[in-house]
Structure 1
Amino acid sequence: MSDVTVDLLVVGAGPVGLYGAFYAGLRGLRVALVDSLSEAGGQVAALYPEKLIYDIAALPAVKGRDLVRSLVEQAAPYDPVYLLGQEARTFERQADGTCVVTTSAGTTVRCGAVVVTGGIGTFTPRPLPAGTGHLGRGLAYFVPDPSAHAGADVVVVGGGDSALDWALMLEPIASSVTLVHRRKEFRAHAATVAAAHASRVRIVTDAQVSGLHGDPVLEHAVITVDGGAEQVVPCSAVIAALGFKANLGPLRDWGAELHDNRHLVVDSSMRTNVPGLYAAGDITDYEGKVRLISVGFGEVATAVNNAAVFLDPGAALFPGHSSDLDTPALVPA
């Protein structure tokens, strides 16, 4: 596929982008989504498919993969074009107002407007400290399939929500789980921290993993505690939940105003300073910004409605309530 023409291009096929594709269809717009990952769902699908998400309206708890599946199903009646495994590279606004985006696969997308929902750029895992030692087979930066660690001795390194979530997720099925954090205080929800302390997860704070040993596979880890002696624990798998370094990549060259070199600055309409270029989700920045999926859903609906008016100045900004829509152009079969 070398040339695609749509009304709206969504850059980023994570949950916010998928909801944007649905909402664009609701507005009668033909939409395409481009994402550097090979499957829809963004980081949620790639990094946290089994993790429970609690802040989605009307869903007390939902696994990442189930949320993504539902969003894909919701958008499906409008037949969005998926350009997966492709990075959006260049953005150009032509004299006639057409936006032209090219991808790493050589695809040219012509559209009237673009909504960027691509998280906060591409991510590179933060590595374990230098000198940790030979890892063999056993190092991972996320847990797409918890069953792969059944019966294993697992060391989880980190102090954020992901580290504690994965430790708790693996605790019922692993032979042992040791959580190592370099500080005494955790950067996770209080309820999650309490659950970890109440579980059989062994928690070691003010410490770091200073050595990993085993040949050809991992056998044990050395933990150095501040002011204490080294501890050696059995270890066949290490989950390095140390976070990711964000990189906006080619988006930096699209002319949009940036905040802290990581986020796109938008106004209350989710417009950037570039005509025809909107943004929603974690990639945006404005005063009072809250980075939650639930907030991103509202932002992308705002972005799509404003993009619809940009494409057709005679269109209404407010499309009406979906429960009142009954025209074939707006309601899936």
Structure 2
Amino acid sequence: MGEYDIIVIGGGPVGLFGTFYAGLRDMKALLIDSQDELGGQLVTLYPEKMVYDVGGFAGIQAYELAQRLIEQAKMFSPDVRTKEWADVLQRTQDGIWVVKTDKGGEYKAKSVMIAAGIGKITPSRLGAKGEVDYEGKGVYYTVRRKKDFQDMRVLIVGGGDSAVDWALTLAPIAKSVTLIHRRDQFRAHERSVKEMFQVAKVYTWHELKEVRGDGTRVTQAVIFDNRTKEEKTLDVDAVIISIGHKGDLGNMTKWGLNMKGRDIVVNPKMETNLPGVYAVGDIASVEGAPKLALIAVGFGQAAVAASMAKKYIDPNASVFAGHSSEMDKFKK
């Protein structure tokens, strides 16, 4: 059972920056994340897309941003646990917080920073025959690397921004791109939709019925017109199902936190109603302030939360220790 100054729950961009900032304040930190790879939505949902609203970068690919944040977070050698879901949060009689995970982990800390974003990210599935059987073998729910689809016959399912964007992105490198949507109206930007019709074969009012393969890879997809029920069999190498992702908060709603819907209510100091527990990023709702679900906003919140946690565990510490350019002073 480890003992830390702070446990950071969530390894997305805000949790990573919070881990770094805790280290900058000379706090022993543990970072826990439910995914198999750090980076949160940056690597799970849109790794190949460009991010334009982070300070210091005119534009940076989401996956690269995640790697830089991971490098920064590890500067002060925090402990890291991936593929562990924070399941239970309890406080001992002497005021120490205990986090228990679904893998049997049990960790003690003087403070906790919750940066869980939308929760554990899982893809929305269609339930089509063969879909689950070929996950990772030709069926995907996001595009991790564009080059993986080089010269492939790609079928995309969906009608939102992500589906249309992937059609436009993959069209120049794939052998062919086909997109099906269950309606004739798209939830994507009009200009993008217009461009998509020029570079991809589009079937509106169509849905995916079955994914077929040779046992190791996808070879065909059966689609059908949801008005006439007429079926078509397409020869494909990959099927990208882009109909959204779900965020699972697990047992977090049972931790005794003051919550508003899926958000944890915090004051301007990022303090929750539980002493020594802070919430930052997409999961936090600051009382009296508008909610801006932006990485840049989350960075600032993480710095505030880490600074308040430092003061909480060491009343003699300053909330603002100085600028990071004065590194030696900043750690005190």
TM over 0.5: yes
Distance 1:318 1:184 in 2: 55
Return the alpha-carbon distance in structure 2 between the equivalents of residues 205 and 102 of structure 1: 47
Which residue is 1:274 aligned to? 274
| Partner deviation per Cα, 1:163-184 (whole Å, 9 max, x = no partner) | 2332233212211112223344
- Aligned pairs for 1:18-167 within 5 A: 18-128=16-126, 130=127, 132-135=128-131, 137=134, 138-167=138-167
Percentage identity across aligned positions? 39
Deviations 1:83-123 (A, max 9, x none): 12212122111222211112233332221110111121123
| 2:35–2:120 CA contact under 8 A, matched in 1 | no
Shift of 1:127: 1.5
| TM-score between the two structures when normalised by the length of structure 2 | 0.86
Shift of 1:215: 5.7
Structure 1: segments with no counterpart, 5+ residues: none
Distance of aligned partners of 1:179 and 1:54 in 2 relative to their CA distance in 1, 3 Å threshold: farther
Question: Partner residue of 2:315?
Answer: 313
Q: 3-state SS of the aligned residue for 2:282?
A: coil
- Number of the residue aligned with 2:199: 200
Query: Counterpart of 2:84 in 1: which secondary structure?
Result: coil
Gaps in structure 2 of 5+ consecutive residues: none
CA 1:205–1:281 in structure 2 vs 1: closer, same or farther (change >3 Å)?
Answer: farther
For 2:310, the aligned partner's letter is A
Query: Does the 8 A contact of 1:308 with 1:315 survive in 2?
Result: yes
Residues matched between the structures, number: 324
SS at match of 1:218: strand
The 8 Å contact of residues 220 and 236 in structure 1, kept in 2 or not, is answered as: no
Number of the residue aligned with 1:218: 219
Change in Cα spacing, 1:290 to 1:175, as seen in structure 2 (3 Å) is same
Report what 2:245 is aligned to: 244
Q: 1:18, 1:71 within 8 Å by CA — same for their partners in 2? A: yes
Please state whether the residue corresponding to 1:322 is helix, strand or coil.
coil
Which residue number corresponds to residue 173 of structure 2? Answer: 173
Cα distance, 1:78 vs structure 2? 1.0
Aligned amino acid, residue 146 of structure 1: K
Alpha-carbon spacing, 1:195–1:303, altered in 2? closer, same or farther (3 Å)? farther
- Paired with 1:160 and 1:179, the residues of 2 have a C-alpha distance of 11
Q: Deviations over 1:266-304 (max 9, x none)?
A: 222222211111111122234521212222212212221
Q: Is the 8 A contact 2:322 2:329 kept in 1?
A: no
What amino acid sits opposite 2:25 in the alignment? R
Deviates more, 1:41-50 or 1:112-121: 41-50
* 1:158 alignment partner AA: G
Return the offset for 1:329. 6.0
- CA distance in structure 2 between the partners assigned to 1:191 and 1:292 by the alignment: 24
- Alpha-carbon distance between aligned partners in 2 of 1:153 and 1:271, rounded to the nearest angstrom: 50
Range moving further from structure 2, 157-166 or 6-15? 157-166
The CA RMSD measured in Å over matched residues stands at 2.7
| 1:293 corresponding residue in structure 2 | 295
> Alignment partner of 2:291: what SS?
coil
Give the distance between the partners of 2:290 and 2:159, measured in 1 at CA. Answer: 26
8 Å Cα contact 1:26-1:330 kept in structure 2? yes
